[in-house]
Amino acid sequence: MSHPHPELSAPPALKEGALRITPLGGLGEIGRNMTVFEHAGRLLIVDCGVLFPEAEQPGIDLILPDFSSIRDRLDKIDGIILTHGHEDHIGAVPFLLRENPDIPLIGSKLTLALIEAKLAEHRIRPYVLEVKEGERERIGPFDCEFIAVNHSIPDALAVAIRTPAGMVVCTGDFKMDQLPLDGRLTDLPAFAKLAEEGMDLLLVDSTNAEVPGFIPHERDISAALRNVFSSADKRIIVASFASHVHRIQQVLDAAHEHKRKVAFVGRSMVRNMGIARDLGYLKVPGNLIVDVKTLDDLPDKEVVLVCTGSQGEPMAALSRMANRDHQIRIVEGDTVIMASSLIPGNETAIYRVINGLTRWGANVVHKGNAKVHVSGHASAGELLYFFNICKPRNLMPVHGEWRHLRACADLGIKTGVPKNRTVIAEDGVVVDLENGVAKIVGKVQAGYVYVDGSSVGDVTEASLKDRRILGEEGFISVFVVVDSNSGKMVGRPTIQARGSGIDDNSFGPVVAKLDEALARSASDGVLEVRQVQQLVRRTIGKWVADNYRRRPMILPVVVEV
């Protein structure tokens, strides 16, 4: 079993006839999915998504893949294949097309409609190529065949990429629901045909590789929703991903059955559901949807609100409702359904929202206490079944944290994939397929690129460390005037603390220590302002640590007179 090494160097030049695979996101994390394929001097990208920030990344809106390894070759990209319309697979496309708006986008009807609506907000009008399952397209030197897969959003596709180096199959996100709402099954016969031809490398969704058995059917949620609707006396508020068309279809069906009206809340929810309805993916009974502004005219028992915020996102509608920072006020007796998964890393934020909603009297229904969610990713039983159909010669788990990648690799080995043909990589690790063998050959830069407001890439890890310190420990500002000749302190310094839990009047004892330190420094000939600032920072910092066991940020300002 291959695995990356922290000392991997830059990869060598790609050998003639070989295929290079470079994941720039989605390995070792849930989100930010992006893989670059290189052959005959040309590039093909599969997916280009975002990762959502965690608590230790304060102020960050989105996290992008690092485009630096391909930035000087953007004109050599023949296309971006988008497997489906979730943000973790399409959300970074606008940022890449800002750098080269001429890159074609390839995907299914719904996927392209969702990304085109997003790009319109960025004033980008891309060239798009709509494809369907069963079709083959020549994209530069890449012969691409598209296969239907079932996921938690309609129109998801896997792609088989053929080159002289061999065939690589990317599943995208998928599961094998045998009773899908739209009747669109994962096309196992098509995968079996690819296996007969010879599947040289399989890049497979590993998100649920640790989950035993088979994922329940999406339609099983209907009974749980009907039970909640039957027992709710007041408003029902459903939080879901803005692209989860199947889940929202079941909410609409339940609302119609119980004679309730539905209003969509939030820009992305309104936009995406409008697109899904216009394209026929969302079936809406007549007069069911109303504008949120008309809700005051309806009795509470006739209202259903569908909004975003199921992951505890601070600016999403549900979080703002929990914080009493939204026009919709949660009241005693409201029912809130959180109809989505709990993404790793979001637990604290989600439970904070649940507690906030409960505080205002809401009855919160979630995956932990009712069957209101099923996963969109194949579990271990499905993956075993899938591997036995595909019979890949080489296997590379993708779309998962480290534990998911390794669990997926172990499943593949059990079904007969040779251990030395199983590649566990991480973001930036370069894998070459040559002579039927996939192997790690190097590593490129693939760090996090942070979006903070209109700033892209300007926030560094050092900046985030400073933000964390400020948020957890506060800061202390120190204004000191020193004599430019003697280096000694002139008058009493001004010391102010914010967020550190230390009263401004408590700094008296440290003034003498600071005076002594500056005098000693001056006698040693240390008079340069920057060095004096460092001395002030160390002196104040040590005193605070010794007396308060805290490490706030120290901001010294030294003025010479």
Binding residues for substrate: 373-377
Q: How far is CA 315 from CA 154, 248, 431, 459, 546, in A?
A: 27, 21, 39, 20, 39
- The structure tokens 């566990």 sit at 424
Return the CA Rg of the chain: 28
**How far is Cα 9 from Cα 7, in angstroms, rounded to an integer?**
6
Residues in the chain: 561
**CA pseudo-torsion sign 480, 483, 486, 490:** negative
- Strand intervals (E) in 265-323: 303-307
Supply 439's token pair.
Answer: 């192997």
**How far is Cα 387 from Cα 477, in angstroms, rounded to an integer?**
61
Angle at 382 between CA 380 and CA 386, to 5 degrees: 115
Q: DSSP character for 457?
A: S
Residue numbers belonging to the annotated binding site: 373-377
- What secondary structure does DSSP assign to 507-550, as a single string? GHHHHHHHHHHHHHHHHTT---HHHHHHHHHHHHHHHHHHHH--
**Angle between helix 402-414 and helix 380-390 axes, rounded to 10 deg:** 50
Beta-carbon contacts of 549 under 8 Å, excluding residues fewer than 6 positions away, are none
**How far is Cα 150 from Cα 177, in angstroms, rounded to an integer?**
7
**How far is Cα 415 from Cα 390, in angstroms, rounded to an integer?**
10
Beta sheet of 157-163, edge-to-edge order: 136-139, 142-148, 157-163, 166-170, 201-205, 395-398
**How far is Cα 273 from Cα 252, in angstroms, rounded to an integer?**
11
Terminus-to-terminus CA distance in the chain, angstroms? Answer: 67
Under 8 Å between Cβ of 201 and 166: yes
Q: Judging by DSSP bridges, how do beta strands 363-365 and 335-338 pair with one another? A: parallel
**CA pseudo-torsion sign 4, 9, 10, 14:** negative
**How far is Cα 473 from Cα 544, in angstroms, rounded to an integer?**
11
**How far is Cα 518 from Cα 560, in angstroms, rounded to an integer?**
13
**How far is Cα 452 from Cα 62, in angstroms, rounded to an integer?**
7
